[in-house]
């Protein structure tokens, strides 16, 4: 296995109707622009997300314009609610906290309509999900790089990352989050044994995705508050299968080129030797011809001399 970028395939754009070019469509509508529009619109609308009973997700009520932007930016999932003017979106914990903490474009309320501060919301989310700090840090890391991040549960991963909207392109990375540091406790043992790594690698390869490890390093800070997010460091590692045939071909390529050059040199030497031999042969024929002529001339002169005598 190699912990480096190898010959990774490019984005696999989906096929649109009537030959529509989704790559060009994504290029003219970058995700950064869409998210910026969503951020401004939610701020202006003073959007409020209401926590569910278990505190694991939230429901966001928005107007038609905000709903369109949420769909384009691939945040949350639309919820059908007939007979209501508002449109509703279900947000996962990472999505909710990202809109609240990173983009600061929504506020969050509990079921009893009590507004929750960022610290209170952090305490709730970490109490309901122990790995929330590292999961959110990984989500935020990718989202701030304008990747669309979705749950990777069906692929045996924590997340999957898309270059643009999932309706336009297939996901490129299956993301595994690996915490490091004593503050994360027993969760640091994740992916430390070969069978776990091989299973994740096989699963991602079977669905044409590159396995991406996001290692979250802790600089001895407490994860009891959202202030720790500034101290967490994310390391990206792409894991690929080592294919012996490809590796051997890559290593043998210089040797094959050198052997080809030697063969060409030998061919040139043989051709030069043949030309020299042919030239020597022609010179020998010419010399023999003139020798015959000279001998005939001498014999003729001797015969004439004898006749005169």
Residue by residue, what is the 3-state secondary structure of the chain? CECCCCCCCCCCECCCHHHCCHHHHHHHCCHHHHHHHHHHHHHHHCEEEEECCCCCCEEEEECHHHHHHHHHHCCCEEECCCCCCCEEEEECHHHHHHHHHHCCCEEEECCCCCEECHHHHHHHHHHHCCCHHHHHHHHHHHHCCCCEEEECHHHCCCEEEECCCCCCECCCEEEEEEEECHHHHHHHHCCCCHHHHHHHHHHHHHCCCEEEEEEEECCCCCCCCHHHHHCCEEEEEEEECCCHHHHHHHHHHHHHHHHHHHHHHHHHHHHHHHHHHHHHHHHHHHHHHHHHHHHHHHHHHHHHHHHHC
Please say if 165 is a catalytic residue: no
Please say if 267 is a catalytic residue: no
Angle, CA of 99, 70 and 135, to the nearest 5°: 40
Tokens of 110: 């509990």
Give the span between the Cα atoms of 229 and 295, in whole angstroms.
108
Burial 166-176 (b: 16+ CB within 10 A, else e): eebbebbbbbb
Which of the residues 14, 56, 101, 170 is marked catalytic? Answer: 170
Which of the residues 162, 182, 260, 289 is marked catalytic? Answer: 162
Please say if 235 is a catalytic residue: no
Point out the residues that are catalytic.
162, 170, 209
């Amino acid at each position: 296995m190699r912990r480096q970028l190898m010959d990774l395939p490019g984005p696999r754009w989906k096929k649109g109707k009537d030959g529509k070019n989704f790559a060009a469509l994504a290029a003219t509508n970058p995700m950064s622009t869409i998210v910026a529009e969503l951020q401004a619109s939610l701020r202006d609308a003073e959007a409020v997300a209401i926590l569910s009973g278990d505190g694991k997700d939230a429901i966001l009520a928005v107007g038609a314009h905000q709903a369109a932007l949420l769909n384009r930016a691939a945040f949350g999932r639309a919820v059908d609610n007939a007979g209501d003017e508002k449109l509703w979106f279900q947000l996962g914990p990472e999505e909710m906290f990202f809109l609240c903490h990173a983009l600061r474009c929504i506020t969050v309320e509990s079921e009893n309509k009590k507004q929750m501060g960022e610290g209170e919301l952090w305490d709730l989310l970490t109490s309901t999900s122990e790995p929330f700090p590292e999961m959110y840090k990984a989500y935020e890391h990718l989202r701030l790089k304008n990747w669309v991040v979705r749950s990777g549960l069906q692929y045996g991963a924590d997340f999957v990352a898309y270059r643009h909207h999932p309706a336009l392109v297939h996901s490129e990375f299956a993301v595994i989050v690996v915490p490091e540091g004593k503050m994360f406790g027993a969760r640091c043992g994740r992916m430390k044994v070969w069978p776990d790594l091989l299973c994740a690698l096989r699963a991602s390869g079977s669905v044409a995705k590159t396995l991406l490890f996001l290692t979250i390093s802790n600089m001895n800070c407490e994860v009891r508050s959202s202030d720790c997010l500034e101290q967490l460091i994310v390391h990206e590692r792409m894991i690929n299968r080592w294919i012996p045939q490809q590796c051997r071909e890559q290593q043998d390529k210089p040797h094959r080129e050198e052997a080809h050059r030697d063969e060409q040199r030998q061919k040139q030497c043989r051709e030069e030797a043949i030309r020299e031999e042919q030239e020597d042969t022609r010179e020998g024929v010419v010399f023999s011809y003139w020798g015959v002529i000279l001998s005939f001339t001498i014999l003729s002169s001797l015969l004439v001399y004898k006749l005169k005598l």
